[in-house]
A and B are shown apart, each in its own frame.
Chain A
């Protein structure tokens, strides 16, 4: 399982990376915003994307919409891990096709639960 972690703060990328490693996902890569993530996603054969929302350059929300509009990336599972807590934003992310939404600060248990749920759903389809 190859995972891309997108967040503008290196400490948050490191936290997510460590938590994913503890969950058994060791093959992780990093990008610091949507603009740097897209070329990696286009060529990297990633299986899963974990992204923040609020980033300079390109936000995670725009990255989500860009992926969904891209024939190659439209089915890529995307988990949003963000401090953005407005109901309207969560609804918009859901409508744009996000697979999971985690509010910061979060716990290892929540990350595990959401990832498991996403893959359970994908298997059912």
Chain B
């Protein structure tokens, strides 16, 4: 930021010289003092060049600093080494997030897959016992059947106790699998910081390049790049509240489709 303000100072200084010299130049030309006028033009020209070299030098140095800051290894004769680059490091970090979330999702689903049949078996046994129990309450049960029920209830209580333990363990494992959130959160914050740094540095570079453009009179083509295919996949919409071209949920999808006659 300090570089940017000093760059602006340079330009206003040059503008000041240019303004002052213009009236002087007009005076000299009107009074017929042509050789002084030509000298003055030469001085303005030299001043412009000096400022331009300063600006380009500053821009080059800032670009170099930006590259060094991100540890993007582009040294001559030095093959691009990915281990050295913070960019590659950020890629690794993001891949780590994908892996952690995937592992957690799979662990959770494993435990759910393991638990669902346990709950289902308990439900089936309880339902069967309740039928028998109802017959007992209605006094429809023969002594032999009662002895059988007596045994079955004992077995069911024992199994319920064991299986409740299994379910409880599985729930605990599911809970622990959510620990990825803390770890991936930390990693993502690091990557966000890097992205913010890069953004700031790029903005600075653009400002500096703007000064050079101003002095050289370079005009950029401001027309928009080719518009993106409207149907190109975009992934989840992260700023849905700010978007008007997206639906906010399944109800809006259904409304849209039914408005099309679906």
**A residues engaging B (CB < 8 A)?**
9-11, 14-15, 18, 53-54, 59, 61, 83-92, 94, 101-104, 106, 110
Task: Please state if B231 and A90 are interface contacts (CB–CB under 8 Å).
Answer: no
Task: Please state if A59 and B233 are interface contacts (CB–CB under 8 Å).
Answer: yes
B106, B235, B257: the one within 8 Å of A90 (CB): B257
23 A–B contacts from the bound complex (CB under 8 Å):
A10-B102, A14-B109, A18-B113, A83-B235, A83-B237, A84-B233, A85-B236, A85-B248, A86-B234, A86-B247, A87-B245, A87-B246, A87-B247, A88-B231, A89-B231, A90-B247, A90-B257, A91-B260, A92-B230, A94-B257, A94-B262, A104-B236, A106-B250
Q: How far is the CB of A121 from chain B (nearest CB, A)?
A: 9
B interface size (C-beta, 8 A): 25
A9, A86, A94: the one within 8 Å of B230 (CB): A86
Bound-state CA distance A102–B257 (Å) is: 11
Q: How far is the CB of B256 from chain A (nearest CB, A)?
A: 6
6 A-B pairs with least C-beta separation: A54-B233, A83-B236, A11-B105, A85-B246, A88-B230, A92-B231
Task: Please state if A84 and B106 are interface contacts (CB–CB under 8 Å).
Answer: no
Bound-state CA distance A84–B246 (Å) is: 9
The number of A-B residue pairs with CB atoms under 8 Å apart is 71
Task: Please state if B230 and A89 are interface contacts (CB–CB under 8 Å).
Answer: yes
Bound-state CA distance A104–B250 (Å) is: 9
Convert B130-149 into 0s and 1s, putting 1 for each residue whose CB lies closer than 8 angstroms to a CB of A: 00000000000000000000
List of A residues within 8 angstroms of B192 by Cβ = none
List of B residues within 8 angstroms of A54 by Cβ = 233-235
* Nearest residue, chain B, Cβ from A85: B246
List of B residues within 8 angstroms of A86 by Cβ = 230-231, 234, 237, 245-247
Q: How far is the CB of A123 from chain B (nearest CB, A)?
A: 16
Name 9 extra pairs, CB < 8 A, besides A10-B102, A86-B234.
A15-B109, A59-B233, A84-B235, A88-B230, A89-B231, A90-B247, A94-B262, A102-B250, A106-B250
* Nearest residue, chain B, Cβ from A55: B233
List of A residues within 8 angstroms of B245 by Cβ = 86-88
List of B residues within 8 angstroms of A9 by Cβ = 102
Task: Please state if A11 and B106 are interface contacts (CB–CB under 8 Å).
Answer: yes
List of B residues within 8 angstroms of A102 by Cβ = 250, 253
Count chain A CB atoms within 10 A of each CB in B113, B245, B246 and give the residue with the most. Answer: B246
